[in-house]
C-alpha cells in the first residue's frame, strides 16, 4: 500500500508548519507548537481526501504527542503516540509490521508510557489484517478503536503502565 507523499504535494507548506512547530516547541511554546502540528495534520488529511488514499502521518502524530505531553496532558499524548505507531505499522511491508517496533513511537510508548506488549501485538495483528484485505484506513484511531474492542477495554489508554 503506497502511503508516500503524492506528486504535487504542497511540500513547502508542510515544511513551514513543521519548522514552525519545532521552533515553537524548542522555545517552550508547546501550545503554539501543537497548533502548528495540527495545521500540518490537517494539511495531510485534506490531501488524503483529495487523492483518495492514505499518507503516512506518523511523524506529525509523534510531534503532536510530544507537544501535548510537554503540556502535561499524557492521556491525550499517549493516543497521539499510539496513532504514530499505527501509522508506522501501516507503512511497513506486509508481514513486517514488527519493524514499527524500531521506531521512536514504539520506544516512547514502551519506555515512557509503559504500554503493554499485548496491545502492540494486537495493533500489529490488526494492521496486517487490514493490509491483507487491501483496506486503506486513513484514520489510525479507527484501528485503535477496533483493538480496544477486541481486547474488551473501554479505551486503549487504560492499557498503559
Domain boundaries, the chain: 11-159
Torsion of CA 23, 29, 35, 39, to 10 degrees: 0
- Rounded CA-CA distance 54/21 in Å is 23
State the pLDDT confidence band at 160, using cuts at 50, 70 and 90: very low
- Rounded CA-CA distance 50/36 in Å is 21
**In this structure, what C-alpha cell is assigned to residue 38?**
495540527
- The answer to whether 136 touches 1, Cβ cutoff 8 Å, is yes
| Ranges 17-31, 82-96, 108-122, 133-147, most confident | 17-31
- Rounded CA-CA distance 53/47 in Å is 9
Q: 70-91 burial by CB neighbour count: b if 16+ within 10 A, else e?
A: eeebbeebbbbbbbbbbbbbbb
Pick the CATH number of 11-159 from 1.20.120, 1.25.40, 3.90.1170, 1.10.10: 1.25.40
Give residue-wise pLDDT tens across range 42-96: 999 999 999 988 999 999 999 999 999 999 999 999 999 999 999 999 988 888 8
Q: Report the predicted TM-score, pTM, of the whole model to 2 decimal places.
A: 0.90
State the pLDDT confidence band at 158, using cuts at 50, 70 and 90: very low
Mean pLDDT of 106-131: 90
pLDDT of residue 3: 85
- Rounded CA-CA distance 128/74 in Å is 28
Give residue-wise pLDDT tens across range 140-149: 998 988 888 8
- Rounded CA-CA distance 107/67 in Å is 17
Amino acid at each position: 500500500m503506497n502511503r508516500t507523499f503524492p506528486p504535487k504535494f504542497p511540500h513547502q507548506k508542510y515544511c513551514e508548519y513543521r519548522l514552525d512547530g519545532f521552533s515553537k516547541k524548542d522555545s517552550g511554546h508547546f501550545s503554539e507548537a501543537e497548533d502548528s502540528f495540527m495545521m500540518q495534520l490537517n494539511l495531510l488529511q485534506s490531501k488524503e481526501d483529495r487523492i483518495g488514499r492514505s499518507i503516512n502521518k506518523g511523524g506529525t502524530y509523534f510531534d503532536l504527542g510530544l507537544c501535548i505531553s510537554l503540556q502535561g496532558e499524557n492521556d491525550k499524548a499517549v493516543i497521539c503516540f499510539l496513532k504514530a505507531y499505527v501509522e508506522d505499522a501501516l507503512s511497513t511491508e506486509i508481514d513486517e509490521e514488527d519493524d514499527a517496533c524500531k521506531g521512536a513511537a514504539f520506544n516512547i510508548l514502551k519506555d515512557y508510557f509503559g504500554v503493554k506488549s499485548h496491545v502492540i501485538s494486537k495493533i500489529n495483528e490488526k494492521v496486517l489484517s487490514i493490509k491483507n484485505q487491501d483496506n486503506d484506513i486513513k484514520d489510525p484511531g479507527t484501528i485503535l478503536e477496533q483493538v480496544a474492542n477486541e481486547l474488551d477495554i473501554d479505551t486503549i489508554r487504560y492499557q498503559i503502565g
